[in-house]
Amino acid sequence: MSTQKKYRHIFFDLDNTLWDFNRNSVETLKELFSEWVAPRLNIGVESFIDVYEKINHQLWNKYRDGQISRQQVAIDRFTLTLKNFGIDDETLAALLSEAYIRRSPRKTRLVEGASEVLDQLKSRFHLHIITNGFLEVQIPKVEHSGLGEYFETITTSEECGCLKPCRKIFEFALGKAGAMPNESLMVGDDPEGDIKGATEAGMDAIFYNISGENNPLEALYCIRNLRELLPLLMS
């Protein structure tokens, strides 16, 4: 099976599509917990991470909806997690926030098959990244993980002023890449942010379904492994 359409530009999401956010984040949080939280809190690291991830998800949804700032996300996810376990310490929360933002982007784990797929695609397509996230975090992820060599442009939500699925970020990325929507394809793991957002901007989209959720109707194809892109795009 292959796509019938000839694309020139392929846009990828970054977190959990190429850069393994889940594993890299957990690895960082375990380090921070061991160094600064465990001496003050008699709980397991898994409990701490579970609470953090739920709070972080809630705050990112508020940030996406324009209810809070990026600074509030960065600090409050640790402030609220600590408070959940009875620690009211803004200094510690700020320390954890700074350390997380500094360390996490230096982690280098990629999603399975990412390098192999990009090695083959780069000879035929112009490759780009569109990512929700902070500029100071997302760019180092690309640089330290070795992804930078593959991509011509990287567009972040902070740079554009809005988050996926906002149509503006896709139009901004297309303009930055010198690409037209009808010659461009989006690949991402978020059915709302990546797939619906891209299709509303006139692009085709492939859903990378890593979590086994329902496939969005807007997706041109749905894949479970990045290597499935190769027969779709290279034949």
Tell me if 8 sits within 8 A of 184, measured CB to CB.
yes
> What is this structure's pTM?
0.95
Distance between CA atoms of 76 and 93, rounded to whole angstroms?
8
Structure confidence at residue 150 as a pLDDT band (50, 70, 90): very high
**Residue 139 to residue 126: CA distance in whole angstroms:** 19
pLDDT of 1 reads 44
Q: Produce one character per residue of 127-162: b if its CB has 16 or more CB atoms within 10 Å, e if not.
A: bbbbbbbbeebbbbbbeebebeebbebbbbbbebeb
- How far apart CA 186 and CA 219 sit, in angstroms, is 10
pLDDT at 79 over 60: yes
Q: What tens digit of pLDDT does each residue of 218-230 get?
A: 999 999 999 999 9
Q: Residue 111: count other Cβ atoms within 10 Å of its Cβ.
A: 21
The answer to whether residue 69 scores a pLDDT higher than 80 is yes
List Cβ neighbours of 31 (8 Å cut-off, separation of 6 or more).
103
**What integer is the mean pLDDT of 9-16?**
99
- Residue 78 predicted with pLDDT over 60: yes
Q: What is the pLDDT of residue 4?
A: 57
Per-residue pLDDT tens for 37-63?
999 999 999 999 999 999 999 999 999
Q: What percent of the chain has pLDDT above 70?
A: 98
CA distances from 40 to 16, 46, 229 (A): 32, 16, 47
**What percent of the chain stands above pLDDT 90?**
91
Neighbours of 164 (CB within 10 A): 28
Write out pLDDT tens, residues 173-208: 999 999 999 999 999 999 999 999 999 999 999 999
The chain-wide mean pLDDT, for the chain, equals 96
The full set of domains in the chain, from first to last, is 9-20+110-233 (3.40.50.1000), 22-106 (1.10.150.240)
